[in-house]
């Protein structure tokens, strides 16, 4: 079940003020497999979760040892919105399944805990026998899990379930839930950035002045934005 401990840490890190994230804390999606974002690693290594194995899909700072972690680290970096080569993915999934089948706790995470985390977790769930691992993950963990068409197509391919690609195929490189399209245009082919589109903020603020904006990315929609873009109606002033 999701834990509420990291919520305040997340708000403090990004300057949020009473802004609910799409998911809060580390979630055990199936027995022994925990998913989350980079800001939730402290939750994964602390009691009561206290994973035996951490699997960073983007990066992991060396201060993990200062936090007291003494478990195993399996580093499998993936480009944002990207996928792994077939043989590497098969190796990683096999290692995860081996550990959870031996009652070990595995913590899987990337920056936001959505695209890369959702992609690998979906393959694991598929190998465990879930007919629709993407649907299960989005209902159990986070509605924004699995972000790109490339990730969705690869999940469908390795699980030999073409119906998943048909069901979840996105209309752009970046997956966005249907109710988000009113806020953004399609990403630029050259930059991959998404610009705010229709629902503008009435006070003419810009994205980089919003509490959701951090390092070129909108933490509300988990997509890249240009800092000088006009803010959408979800604008929340930094505190």
Which pLDDT tens digit goes with each residue over 47-92? 999 999 999 999 999 999 999 999 999 999 999 999 999 999 999 9
Say yes or no to pLDDT of 5 above 70.
no
CA geometry: angle 2, 208, 16, nearest 5 deg: 30
Strands in the chain per DSSP E: 27-30, 33-37, 53-56, 72-73, 106-110, 213-214, 217-218, 223-224
**Domain 7-168 bears CATH identifier 3.90.1150.180:** no
What pLDDT score was predicted for residue 171? 34
Domain range summary for the chain, segments of one domain joined by +:
7-168, 181-239
Say yes or no to pLDDT of 10 above 50.
no
* pTM over the 0.85 mark: no
Residue whose entry in the numeric block shows the structure tokens 């195993």: 72
What pLDDT score was predicted for residue 208? 82
- Residue-wise pLDDT for 115-137, tens only, equals 999 999 999 999 999 999 999 99
Count the Cβ atoms, other than its own, within 10 Å of residue 209: 15
User: Is the model more confident about 6 or about 38?
Assistant: 38
- Residue-wise pLDDT for 159-211, tens only, equals 999 999 989 875 334 444 433 333 333 333 333 334 443 344 556 788 888 88
């Amino acid at each position: 079940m999701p834990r509420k401990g990291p919520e305040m840490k997340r708000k403090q890190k990004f300057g949020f003020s009473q802004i609910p994230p799409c998911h809060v804390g580390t979630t055990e999606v199936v027995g022994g497999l925990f998913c989350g974002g980079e800001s939730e690693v402290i939750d994964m290594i602390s009691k009561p979760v206290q994973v035996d194995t951490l699997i960073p899909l983007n990066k992991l700072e060396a201060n993990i040892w200062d936090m007291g972690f003494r478990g195993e680290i399996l580093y499998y970096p993936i480009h944002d919105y990207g996928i792994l080569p077939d043989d590497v993915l098969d190796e990683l999934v096999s290692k995860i399944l081996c550990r959870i089948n031996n009652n070990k706790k595995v913590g899987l995470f990337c920056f936001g805990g959505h695209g890369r985390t959702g992609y690998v977790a979906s393959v694991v769930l598929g190998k465990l026998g879930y007919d629709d691992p993407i649907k299960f993950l989005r209902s159990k963990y986070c509605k924004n899990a699995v972000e790109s068409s490339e990730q969705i197509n690869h999940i469908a391919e390795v699980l030999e379930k073409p119906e998943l690609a048909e069901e979840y195929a996105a209309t752009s490189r970046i997956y966005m839930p249907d109710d988000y399209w009113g806020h953004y245009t399609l990403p630029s082919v050259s930059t991959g950035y998404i610009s705010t589109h229709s629902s503008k903020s009435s006070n003419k603020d810009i994205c980089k002045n919003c509490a959701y904006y951090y390092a070129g990315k909108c933490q509300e929609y988990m997509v890249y934005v240009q800092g000088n873009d006009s803010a959408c109606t979800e604008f929340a002033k930094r505190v």
